[in-house]
Chains A and B, each alone.
Chain A
């Protein structure tokens, strides 16, 4: 067809070759890139401790029973496939907000909040970022904890916000740098946006204790900051959904009109169905209506309206009493297995003869553990033992099983002794 073109349109010979000649190869996504490298490895003992997806003790993806049951119920209903409203499935957004805030929360009773269904946690953060970018009258700065989930930065940046940080993780203790956090937060300019991980901080697994949350809430109020909560692990962190949402509820109680992102990827294992919510707590129902109308205006030119399948499953689980109980049990089970693996890893390291203090592995909470390994040690762990993790020393505990925890302890000891 090159010949066809040049014979039919002779003045095109010499036309540019490609529009995309100047497009650079994008860097591989650090988190998802780990899985891709893992897949290429042929070592039978390889371990994928990269992406945060739960695995059972056989190292297999886990489809929750409550999900399978919900799917069967839904299939029997023979529902149609008509477009959802822009803001999503109404029953879902209601249940989603109740899960986060508690069914008897005054905010829900007064109708002064709005929750829209989003494309899981990422979609929620993006809509939130877009909303702030368009409507937040305060500074463009979003303060992230140092470190934070890698994708937070590009999401907010693409939405037109600027990124700053507050101290959070203390590498010397592998724990929370409470003093550093308070010190940095006290200097944040008024009306800036501060992002907080509600529970199971990603990537460190380090969460503030309740008394510390109280001080943070107080200080944030003094500084008049807009709080953006990211809650991707409700239920998954401690095994208790109310306990994991405590920080969110406390801040609201203290009068913060927060914005909140929720994900059901991990706690319901609905990763690929993209189930999430974005909530704005407002002053009153009228403001909530206005905010809702603007959220729809933001959503429509991105994807028009959200996908049904996952939201339908989540709603069925949350609103069917015995499925809800089953879910709570299963989420508790997942959290417990993680906790057990943490204990076994530390026991294994002691057994290997490691003299380092590994207490932080047990103190940290949720899917991830910030091992404290340095980049060179991580590289060795990957090259010599085929243990795949992100360069910051983060491991996904979900990838650890009773079958491989010994091998992992052996590898970590080998690169740190």
Chain B
């Protein structure tokens, strides 16, 4: 009799199942518009030239070894990463009230922040404190907070399917009516999956309500630099909230903007009221880290730290990031142009108005099924496509297929 004979089969994680199905498909013209990783115009993964350069430096440096990092991670990584988010000249950094925890990717940073908030945010048991995530949001947000012990993870209005844009009134309405002290997960830029970000004026309105209603700001920043091509532009919302005086968390991922997906490079930036509060927060973060992974992996953090802390390498990195962002922007322009040329019903402005890796096409589940089954074009059931999956060679096929789906499938 096995102790595990009752264990049920769990459903596979959708986005990975999609890639698996794509890989198993023998159709020659197949296209993968699923998982969020950058692809070149040849449809290949891209190891950033600056990363290759830095890896060579690291492998030849005999002074380096594989010893444990400190619990909170590589110090030169943590400080450089926080500076990227907040700006070199951030008053909060100058006031010594910014700290960080190196984590396993953006997921790990969200996890650490969630675990900390559950224990310490508003009293010492926040299992009932509502956590708000956007409707829709990255599918793992729900699970991260639920698994950290939050029993009440709720959606806040965000995407307006009819007008294919931000439901600002709904968003502000939820901010006004939610319980005080609720926690809000905000996408710093390049909202996943909709690609729709608030404008600066809209962020100012959001911040005002959050400050007034004492709501906790938890930014998820997975695409800094990748969205517009500019680090500063993509960090505007995060920096604005810091300047407004919020105590907040910002979960940073270097998976996309450094192309370091599998090295799990993330950073939880903590902005506290003062150095003393910060110190105590970090000491408790250490305890949480210790029972989860003890200390984080070295390789990816070393690559990022070396790059960010070297003036020449930093410039080269920004250039690599802009290369990626520019290709995505080009694909957006071309897809919209082709759909307009085909006369595909509907408006397609949202394709170039949306930003970052993803686009919420507006295709309904039946149309998505058509794309996958009949055209071998793999995208999420939500209609989300990864713009990086488009190339100059497949964009015609994709545009034509979207046209077919929209005109023949209701």
Q: How far is the CB of B259 from chain A (nearest CB, A)?
A: 6
Task: Answer whether residue A103 sits at the interface, using C-beta atoms and an 8 A cutoff.
Answer: no
Could you say which of A131-139, A196-204, A215-223, A322-330 contacts chain B? A131-139
Contact with B along A226-265 (1 / 0, CB 8 A): 1000000000000000000000000000000100000001
Q: How far is the CB of B300 from chain A (nearest CB, A)?
A: 7
By CB atoms of chain B within 10 A, which of A293, A297, A307 has the most? A307
B68 partner, pick from A158, A272, A280, A305, beta carbons under 8 A = A272
> B67 near A271 (CB under 8 angstroms)?
yes
User: Which residue of the partner chain B has the closest CB to A132?
Assistant: B3
Task: Answer whether residue B310 sits at the interface, using C-beta atoms and an 8 A cutoff.
Answer: no
> B111 near A309 (CB under 8 angstroms)?
no
Contact with A along B249-263 (1 / 0, CB 8 A): 000000100011111
Instruction: Provide the bound-state CA to CA distance between A350 and B305, in Å.
Output: 50
> A300 near B262 (CB under 8 angstroms)?
no
Instruction: Provide the bound-state CA to CA distance between A124 and B69, in Å.
Output: 18
Q: Which residues of chain B are near A122, meaning CB under 8 Å? A: 290-294
Task: Answer whether residue B28 sits at the interface, using C-beta atoms and an 8 A cutoff.
Answer: no
> B107 near A24 (CB under 8 angstroms)?
no
> A21 near B104 (CB under 8 angstroms)?
no
Q: Which residues of chain A are near B284, meaning CB under 8 Å? A: 23-24, 26
User: Which residue of the partner chain A has the closest CB to B35?
Assistant: A83
Task: Answer whether residue A84 sits at the interface, using C-beta atoms and an 8 A cutoff.
Answer: yes
> A291 near B68 (CB under 8 angstroms)?
no
Q: Which residues of chain B are near A303, meaning CB under 8 Å? A: 103-105, 107-108, 111, 264, 293
> B263 near A32 (CB under 8 angstroms)?
no
Task: Answer whether residue A85 sits at the interface, using C-beta atoms and an 8 A cutoff.
Answer: yes
Q: Which residues of chain B are near A269, meaning CB under 8 Å? A: 66
Q: Which residues of chain A are near B59, meaning CB under 8 Å? A: 71-72, 75
User: Which residue of the partner chain A has the closest CB to B37?
Assistant: A82
Instruction: Provide the bound-state CA to CA distance between A205 and B267, in Å.
Output: 37
Task: Answer whether residue A45 sits at the interface, using C-beta atoms and an 8 A cutoff.
Answer: no
Given contacts A19-B122, A83-B262, contact A294 B10 (CB under 8 A): yes
Q: Which residues of chain B are near A121, meaning CB under 8 Å? A: 294
> A293 near B3 (CB under 8 angstroms)?
no
> B107 near A226 (CB under 8 angstroms)?
no
Q: Which residues of chain A are near B245, meaning CB under 8 Å? A: 1-2, 4-5
Instruction: Provide the bound-state CA to CA distance between A388 and B394, in Å.
Output: 63
Task: Answer whether residue B273 sits at the interface, using C-beta atoms and an 8 A cutoff.
Answer: yes
Q: Which residues of chain A are near B212, meaning CB under 8 Å? A: 9, 11-12
Task: Answer whether residue B277 sits at the interface, using C-beta atoms and an 8 A cutoff.
Answer: yes
* CB within 8 Å of A: which B132-148 residues: 140, 143-144, 146-148
Contact with A along B106-129 (1 / 0, CB 8 A): 011001000000001110100000
Instruction: Provide the bound-state CA to CA distance between A185 and B243, in Å.
Output: 59
Given contacts A53-B68, A158-B291, contact A21 B37 (CB under 8 A): no
* CB within 8 Å of A: which B292-330 residues: 292-300
Instruction: Provide the bound-state CA to CA distance between A84 and B124, in Å.
Output: 36
Task: Answer whether residue B244 sits at the interface, using C-beta atoms and an 8 A cutoff.
Answer: yes
By CB atoms of chain B within 10 A, which of A23, A191, A271, A297 has the most? A23
Instruction: Provide the bound-state CA to CA distance between A276 and B243, in Å.
Output: 42
B296 partner, pick from A29, A67, A274, beta carbons under 8 A = A274
> A20 near B10 (CB under 8 angstroms)?
no
> B297 near A82 (CB under 8 angstroms)?
no
Task: Answer whether residue B279 sits at the interface, using C-beta atoms and an 8 A cutoff.
Answer: yes
Q: How far is the CB of A118 from chain B (nearest CB, A)?
A: 9
Instruction: Provide the bound-state CA to CA distance between A307 and B255, in Å.
Output: 11
Q: Which residues of chain A are near B37, meaning CB under 8 Å? A: 82-83
By CB atoms of chain B within 10 A, which of A136, A297, A303 has the most? A303
Q: How far is the CB of A334 from chain B (nearest CB, A)?
A: 14
B9 partner, pick from A17, A21, A138, A293, beta carbons under 8 A = A293
B293 partner, pick from A61, A120, A138, A289, beta carbons under 8 A = A120
Task: Answer whether residue B2 sits at the interface, using C-beta atoms and an 8 A cutoff.
Answer: yes
User: Which residue of the partner chain B has the closest CB to A294?
Assistant: B10
B105 partner, pick from A24, A81, A298, A304, beta carbons under 8 A = A304
Given contacts A9-B212, A282-B2, contact A297 B140 (CB under 8 A): no
> A270 near B66 (CB under 8 angstroms)?
yes
Q: How far is the CB of A61 from chain B (nearest CB, A)?
A: 4
> A301 near B261 (CB under 8 angstroms)?
no
* Residues on A facing B (Cβ under 8 Å): 1-2, 4-5, 9, 11-12, 15-26, 29, 32, 51, 53, 61, 63, 67, 71-72, 75, 78, 80-86, 119-123, 126, 135-138, 151, 154-155, 157-158, 191, 226, 257, 265, 269-274, 280, 282-283, 287, 289-291, 293-294, 296-298, 300-310
* Sample (26) of A-B pairs whose CB atoms are under 8 Å apart: A17-B273, A19-B121, A19-B247, A20-B247, A20-B272, A21-B277, A29-B287, A32-B70, A67-B66, A81-B259, A119-B104, A122-B290, A122-B294, A154-B287, A265-B68, A273-B298, A297-B13, A301-B143, A302-B108, A302-B111, A302-B292, A303-B104, A304-B264, A305-B264, A307-B299, A309-B298
